[in-house]
Amino acid sequence: MTGEPGATGPLGRLVAQEARRVLTAAALAPDPRRVAAGWTRRFVTDVGRAEESMTLYRALGYEVAADPLRPEEMPEDCETCELALRSFRTIYTRRPTAGTGDQEAR
C-alpha cells in the first residue's frame, strides 16, 4: 500500500476518514459578537471538560464563557445532530474588564 489517493485497505480507509474530519473555516470561525466584545475563541469541548477548562482559565485570571455550538460550527454531514449541539460547548476567554464577571451560556 502506498498511501496514495484512492488507496484501499485499512490505511486507505483511515486516511479517507481523517480527511473528512477536517473542520471547515466556518466551523473554526469565532462568534463575531464575542470577538467584538473582546473574547478569544479557544476550542470546542464536551460539557464535562468545559467545566474543567473553565475552572482552569478562571484560576489563570480570565473571564470565561462556554457557548453552545452554533449550527455553522457543525460539520456539513451533521447539521441536524441535536446531541452534539447539546453536548458540546465553545470556550471563549478574555482578560477581565472593570465591572464584568464570568458569562456562561449553558
The domains of the chain are located at 23-94
Pairing state between β 63-68 and 40-46: unpaired
| Cα 20-74-88 angle, rounded to 5 deg | 115
At 87 the pLDDT is 84
pLDDT at 59: 97
| pLDDT tens-place values along the chain, 106 residues long | 444 555 577 777 777 766 665 556 666 789 999 999 999 999 988 988 999 999 999 999 999 999 988 777 766 666 567 776 778 899 999 999 776 555 544 3
pTM of the model: 0.65
What whole-number distance in Å separates Cα of residue 11 and Cα of residue 93?
A: 38
pLDDT at site 34? 95
The strand order across the sheet containing 88-94 reads 40-46, 88-94, 63-68
